A and B are shown apart, each in its own frame.
Chain A
């Protein structure tokens, strides 16, 4: 095992010198992580074009089952990994945040494709969110449009690497504090992130700099251009 997981022993925390002989924790970590890395259950959840490549990854030729990940769960309650596969739109992001909140810890998010990572080719569109990481924390980004199934597999292996580097003593979900849920964005005149409320108030109470925009076009072109 040591050869296959060399990262485990140097996984982000220092073992004090007087404890170097004591390898109990790292061994436990290794077993724990091995169990987790080969049984990541993704959520059956596809958004756009990238979802097709995700399905192909799970299907005949690339066979996600070799990684213990074939059990795609339709319910967030039973899944560990959310593969955000495709363009995240403003209309969809409340659902995505809700699903994320419903997933039990430990949970991971993989942003598949340019769209989910940072907006993608449709970034400028009025209904497109520039990257799912503006709302939920992302663990691995897989660039590409679409990433080929092999690129996705590479991303999943990166995720396994990340899992390997975690230690049972440090992970957030065994910590003392509750992990707060992410506030669900609202669909108002535009998408409202409750965390931004103050800022929005501030900005919208400003006097318009340029001559006021036409009432039919409330989008402040002046702000975007500044």
Chain B
């Protein structure tokens, strides 16, 4: 368990001293960080960035404090998590705004990485970010009625406020919920809405923004430019993702990602679920690396639960082993499909998938499912390694995988065609990488040695010797190479963990089907294969989270996509996207 989330006390007083009337420590029990006056937010954030070294804005999200009790104090709170790119714990700022006409100054001009996250808060909570350069809905479409994440917004299939639903037992007469909806569908319309002659507007603002961006790129717009929409069904978008691209000949002058095609309302459902129920749902975030998602969520909840959920030694080791195996299998997949995007159609991917399948065999034997592992519990893991699995892991880690990673390296890294397609493409400087809040391989390929496992160690990562891999050029080739380097480091961690794996219990106490989590907030973050994966949860002491937010690395890494692509050829878009390694389940949630 790490206790490093709260900033050192020096900074605390420093910030409060600096802004005596604008900043005060958050005194609610279980909460940390500072409440900032809305009007002073920009000032405080600027000081944080320029003077105190908090240059990395990791997560921005909104929380709806709402209750329909009379005299309840209802407001929306926007929560920011800042870090130093040199390492250390978080500094948390919060601003509060009324639920009607919620307005908060935008931090996007200061921290470019806030862009999509603020748009998300606008989309789902209706918080207006003043000064945001491009405030549009991001996950839902323009014209959708209401702000769905607000607590008083109910979906068409709404049954009850929280799970478990009362009608499932003991008189559980089965029904399909669609049969109880007048349209037999998951739809509901505002009063008096008439669909006859309804015309869909295909997001006109998007094209306005594209044009504006094109003008910024070059003043002379005499040449004929075309807008091309790549996706949402496009073989190279790794799922349902769309890029609106403005082209001058073959050169990209503006690009806007459009997402939400896989928005599955993870957070809304997550706030209705009990704490335990969320675990299998986290599997479906980044479905290529479910173990890491489990890890992040378990950490966040365990932090709130305190000592009674501290996992025993053996469980910690198993967690690390599983997380590192996941990283390897994820990177294998990422490399395979990056090469696919480069035009090496399927052969590298096939070789990589063989190794991934062997790792999935391990997951299947241990957890019961190849992809949706649902393996972590609060205070341990679900079950011990079955017979023979440990030997299998050992044989893979010591004998096969190192050989195969080397083979992949020989196979691809020196290939002149790969190099000419990827070197110098999509360059991101270290400053940009930090400003855009990129994480994981994207950040490290740009020369920033930031790895949560080292910068803010969690679990037992402080016991292992490994290098934080860094590459200096920040181009596609380096983002490819860094994944190979990382796999090697993971093997190193695995070797140590397998050697030291102790015996003993795998759960701290019983594994109850309902847990109580003390009131408060917590932010648990892990270094997932895609980057920093964070879970921000707020508990009000009940059986369900009051707020459940996922800081999805591939979502935030996408903020930098435009920067990568502008000025390059259209064929490079696909490669740049592949080098970020997105998973749509996590981007759209």
Contact = CB atoms under 8 A, between A and B. Distances in A.
A contacting B, Cβ–Cβ less than 8 Å = yes
Interface of A: 44-49, 51-53, 55-56, 59-61, 74, 86-87, 89-92, 95, 99, 118-119, 121-130, 134, 145-146, 148, 186-194, 196-197, 199-201, 203-205, 208, 212-214, 216-221, 223-226
Of listed A130, A193, A225, residue having the most chain B CB within 10 A? A130
Contacts of B186: 90, 119, 123, 126, 128-130, 191
Contact of B264 (A55, A60, A87, A208): A87
Contacts of B354: 60-61
B72 interface: no
Given A126-B186, A208-B191, A216-B146, A224 B156 contact: yes
B154 A92 contact: no
A126 B265 contact: yes
A204 B189 CA distance: 7
Contacts of A218: 145-146, 188-191
Contact of B265 (A122, A201, A221, A225): A122
14 contacts: A47-B262, A59-B346, A89-B261, A91-B141, A121-B281, A128-B186, A130-B176, A146-B371, A188-B198, A189-B143, A192-B189, A203-B182, A216-B150, A216-B152
Contacts of A214: 152
A146 B287 CA distance: 10
Given A60-B350, A201-B196, A189 B190 contact: yes
Chief secondary structure at chain B's binding surface: loop
Contacts of A217: 146, 150, 152-154
B156 A219 contact: yes
Nearest to B235: A74
A59 B349 CA distance: 8
Contact of B261 (A91, A145, A191): A91
A56 B364 CA distance: 15
Interface string B537-572: 000000000000000000000000000000000000
Contacts of A127: 139-140, 148, 260, 263-265
Most chain B Cβ neighbours within 10 Å, of A51, A187, A188, A216? A188
A32 B282 CA distance: 46
B239 A224 contact: no
Given A52-B371, A203-B183, A89 B353 contact: no
B40 interface: no
B11 interface: no
B403 interface: no
Given A91-B263, A146-B372, A192-B189, 5 more contacts: A52-B371, A124-B177, A125-B264, A127-B139, A219-B156
Contact of A47 (B195, B240, B260, B266): B240
Interface in B22-73: none
Contacts of A125: 155, 264-266, 268-269
Contacts of B152: 214, 216-217
B191 A124 contact: no
Instruction: List the 4 closest pairs (A to B, CB-CB), nearest first.
Output: A125-B265, A189-B145, A218-B190, A49-B287
A90 B188 CA distance: 12
A122 B273 CA distance: 12
| Size bracket of the B interface | 35 or more
Contacts of B181: 223-224
Contact of A224 (B188, B189, B193, B268): B188
Given A61-B354, A92-B232, A190-B145, A122 B188 contact: no
B183 A48 contact: no
A87 B284 CA distance: 11
B288 interface: yes
Contacts of B148: 126-127
A220 B144 CA distance: 15
Contacts of B261: 89, 91-92, 95
A71 B36 CA distance: 58
A219 B188 contact: yes
A191 B183 CA distance: 11
Given A92-B232, A187-B141, A221-B158, A192 B191 contact: no
A60 B353 contact: yes
Contacts of B239: 46-48, 51
B157 A200 contact: no
A95 B232 contact: yes
B372 A219 contact: no
B183 A200 contact: yes
Interface string B150-192: 1011111111000000000000000011101111111111111
B250 interface: no
A92 B140 CA distance: 11
A93 B350 CA distance: 31
Contacts of B159: 124, 224-225
Contacts of B431: none
Contacts of B195: 186, 188, 192, 194, 196-197, 200-201
A216 B196 contact: no
A92 B259 CA distance: 10
A109 to B, nearest CB: 15
Contacts of B200: 186-188
B158 A219 contact: yes
Q: Which of the listed residues A145, A190, A213 has the most CB atoms from chain B within 10 Å of its own CB? A: A190
A216 B66 CA distance: 14
B571 to A, nearest CB: 15
A79 B158 CA distance: 38
Nearest to A126: B155
Contact of B192 (A89, A193, A205): A205
B248 to A, nearest CB: 26
Nearest to B288: A52
Contacts of B262: 47-48, 86-87, 89, 92
B585 interface: yes
Given A125-B155, A127-B140, A217-B154, A212 B191 contact: yes
Contacts of B281: 121
Interface in B264-302: 264-266, 268-269, 272, 280-281, 284, 287-288
A145 B193 contact: no
